[in-house]
Structure 1
Amino acid sequence: MGVSSRTWSVSELLSGLRDRAERSGRRLIDLGQGAPVDPTPELVTAELAAAADWPGYPPAQGIEEVRTAYCRWAARRWGTHLSATDVVTTVGSKEFIATLPWLMGLSRSDLVAIPELAYPTYAAGAHLAGCRVVATPPDIGALDAIRPRLLWLNTPGNPTGESLTAVQLTEIVAWARERGITVVSDECYIELTPPGPPATSILSPEVNGGRFDNLVAVHSLSKRSNMAGYRIGFASGDPKFLAQLQQSRRDAGLIAAGPIQRAAVKALADDDHVFRLQQQYAERRAVLRTGLTAVGWQVQHSEAGLFIWATAGESDAKTSARLADLGILVAPGGFYGSTGDQHVRLSLTASLTDLVEVGARLLAAEQ
């Protein structure tokens, strides 16, 4: 396990740009980070309060009620048939992503494949375990040339908002099974899609044929229920793989708090707040997209998730600095991979009023 001087945190990366935006003399509009700002559902906060008296330790795998609630949620979304033994609760999804290569026992001889444009924690976790890392598109030809031990997918993706199709996922699953490769699909944004049919999951029977061998899906309540501060997520899929992993997780004390798990039961059982959130983000996405395209920017993908992925046809450093001078904070795209160095990521975790104001400031600056 090594220590790196690389910046893995977007908040750390943005500190200089934040200072510049605050010196602009304009009211700061923060589109740099993807932390939810809308209220946690009342049914969740009420259950948390009701469950607060919890003097003992919760089960390491998670209480049965929350794992069962997760299975029912997956069945509603994709017709997936999971049992509670196929599910592990996590302390949010980030800790699972960061610790997985280490807990799998991977080392410097092992290769971990991550998305070409990606949330940095996939690489950070591999680095902590001493693994080699390669960034690659989700293409069978490219993957076959490298043969990783662990393959990370992210759908819908951060930063791009691109969702993998059922055809793409099916091909990857078949390829990985033939070679004994573990595929872990980070799907923490999977319910932040436009209102309508859900995005395809690696848990979808059409993708996996009703079997979970070699497959793990990672989900979180941070974004779909505005529960980022609760730190609760789930890993599900290959029961043999998860059972072995859970022994190490238990020994490391990676256990979600009991009252939080009780609150998560309520969140998973309720779809109405999610549908309202989908509509809210769809409205925000449309407003911000309109403001960007009005000044000639190109918006790419961005159909799901919390972000707009866009380019003004110049370097990410120039764009992010130019916006900071307008009091607008955004994340430079190169932070997520070298192919993003002419893009910026803009978060939708802002009010409609602020997103309209972003468009107005950009338009005024062009005149």
Structure 2
Amino acid sequence: MSRMGRPPLNRRLAEFGTTIFAEMSALATSTGAINLGQGFPDTDGPEEVREAAVRALRDGRGNQYPPGPGVPELRRAVAEHQRRFYGLSYDPDTEVLVTAGATEALAASLLGLVEPGDEVIALEPYYDSYAAGIAMAGGTRVPVTLRPDGERYRLDPDELRAAVTDRTRLILLNTPHNPTGTVLDRDELAMIAELACERDLLVVTDEVYEHLVYDGEHVPLATFADRFPGLRERVLTISSAGKTYNFTGWKVGWVTGAPELVSAVRTAKQYLTFVSAGPFQYAVAEALALPDRYYTELADRLRATRDLLSEGLREAGLTVYRPAGTYFVTADIRPLGESDGFAFCRELPDRCGVVAIPNAVFYDHREEGAHFVRFAFCKRPEVIREAGARLARLANRP
């Protein structure tokens, strides 16, 4: 306690300690377990993209402060990517902002758009930085729970509508969805678009897994602007290079949206990192121009490891929810006679030599996620096979 009798930590962050990812990764290191907890690949991305970063370093491009909104080459490449894949048109000078990964994009969006007392709806379970970002902005998070329905998790449209009040400022949307792997379909997205326009809401969409879809299709909410007048001025879209190109350490992300929204995010962002990753921005600009074959092969590889891990988890005795996208498989541990995901994950390295993440950390309603565990499959096939062999010990437990 301080001399004034108040703890040093800002009370808005009092509920947040060390992230579960840091805890479980440290456990993987100390036990030598296979880390299927944190979602990072165990191979680097395309050689030509790495070489583009090396060229930028050697040529002195980005070694000093890059422009605040991002280097022009990357902003143009992001705008072209949105046009190429989704038919969306953005002005690279006023409607594209480069950030230090999607995490900063999310934080800056919430800090720039949310005021104390505003309510922010998030689909539960949600990535842990959502809760911290809302708290730092002084907002109140309102979870709307995705629940298992067959092999996938589904959004209840009535629950979403009921969550909107006169204090609701923003819906924080994530599709493809971490950790459930759900990819929202066109009907669900149209409902959200209509709701945002009807209730005068902003929508921030986290689409970092946009190219990691194995069943169905990824459709950005922004593409519904033609059907719902006024939607374009309400939607901010976030993505990044880390998941698509296997360079999670570069921390290059971006925001696209109407000028007023992007300006609000930029106002907050400039007092966070100001700028970052100068040489990597030039490399990501080249990565965004990779041929369609790259994106197809990426999804095919991850689909194969998804299926490999899913089969291993089933053989270990867990119930598996088939993810349509992302890096992650959610499994129910109750068939093993387990009900506490935290205890299960903390014991798993010693029992099987594998690390996973308890889904309860992604919930406000902890009981909803208590018996679910998340495993990452963004690893080499031989690593997934070895993890499956180790997890098989669960099925043989007396």
Determine if the TM-score, normalized by the shorter chain, exceeds 0.5. yes
Amino acid at match of 2:213: T
Which residue does 1:255 correspond to in 2? 275
Are 2:101 and 1:96 aligned? no
- Give per-residue Cα distances to partners, 1:124-169, cap 9 Å, x unaligned: 0111122211211454433333332121011111111111111111
Q: Structure 1 residues 365, 131: closer, same or farther in 2, change over 3 A?
A: closer
Tell me, in whole angstroms, the C-alpha distance in 2 between the residues paired with 1:317 and 1:10: 10
Which residue does 1:41 correspond to in 2? 46
Tell me, in whole angstroms, the C-alpha distance in 1 between the residues paired with 2:22 and 2:378: 18
Are 2:144 and 1:118 aligned? no
Q: Structure 1 residues 197, 161: closer, same or farther in 2, change over 3 A?
A: closer
Which residue does 1:327 correspond to in 2? 353
CA contact (8 A) 1:307 1:348 kept: yes
Aligned to 2:284, what secondary structure does the other structure show?
helix
Aligned to 1:289, what secondary structure does the other structure show?
helix
Amino acid at match of 1:14: M
Of 158, 182, 187, which residue of structure 2 is paired with 1:141? 158
Any residues of structure 2 matched to 1:206-217 within 5 Å, and which? 212-217=232-237
Shift of 1:321: 4.1
- Give per-residue Cα distances to partners, 1:30-86, cap 9 Å, x unaligned: 101101221121121111111121354322112222112112212222222222132
The runs of 5 or more residues in structure 2 that have no matched partner are 1-9, 146-154
Shift of 1:5: 4.3
Which residue does 2:382 correspond to in 1? 353
Q: Structure 1 residues 33, 269: closer, same or farther in 2, change over 3 A?
A: same
- Give per-residue Cα distances to partners, 1:61-118, cap 9 Å, x unaligned: 12222112112212222222222132111110001212332222511x1111111101
Of 233, 239, 251, which residue of structure 2 is paired with 1:219? 239
Amino acid at match of 2:159: A
- Give per-residue Cα distances to partners, 1:325-350, cap 9 Å, x unaligned: 11111111111112211110001132
CA contact (8 A) 1:66 1:264 kept: yes
Give me the TM-score of the superposition, normalised by structure 2: 0.83
Tell me, in whole angstroms, the C-alpha distance in 2 between the residues paired with 1:28 and 1:296: 20
Shift of 1:10: 2.6
Are 2:321 and 1:304 aligned? no
CA contact (8 A) 2:99 2:269 kept: no
Aligned to 2:120, what secondary structure does the other structure show?
strand
The runs of 5 or more residues in structure 1 that have no matched partner are none
Aligned to 1:115, what secondary structure does the other structure show?
strand
Q: Structure 1 residues 366, 246: closer, same or farther in 2, change over 3 A?
A: closer
Q: Structure 1 residues 219, 8: closer, same or farther in 2, change over 3 A?
A: farther
Q: Structure 1 residues 197, 57: closer, same or farther in 2, change over 3 A?
A: same
Any residues of structure 2 matched to 1:176-187 within 5 Å, and which? 176-187=196-207
How much identity, in percent, do the aligned residues show?
28
CA contact (8 A) 1:41 1:273 kept: no
Shift of 1:301: 3.9
Which residue does 1:336 correspond to in 2? 362
Tell me, in whole angstroms, the C-alpha distance in 2 between the residues paired with 1:10 and 1:365: 23
Q: Structure 1 residues 287, 135: closer, same or farther in 2, change over 3 A?
A: same
The two structures, once aligned, show a CA RMSD in angstroms of: 2.3
Which residue does 1:317 correspond to in 2? 342
Tell me, in whole angstroms, the C-alpha distance in 2 between the residues paired with 1:127 and 1:200: 29
CA contact (8 A) 2:112 2:264 kept: no
Amino acid at match of 1:317: F
Give me the TM-score of the superposition, normalised by structure 1: 0.90
How many residues align? The count is 360
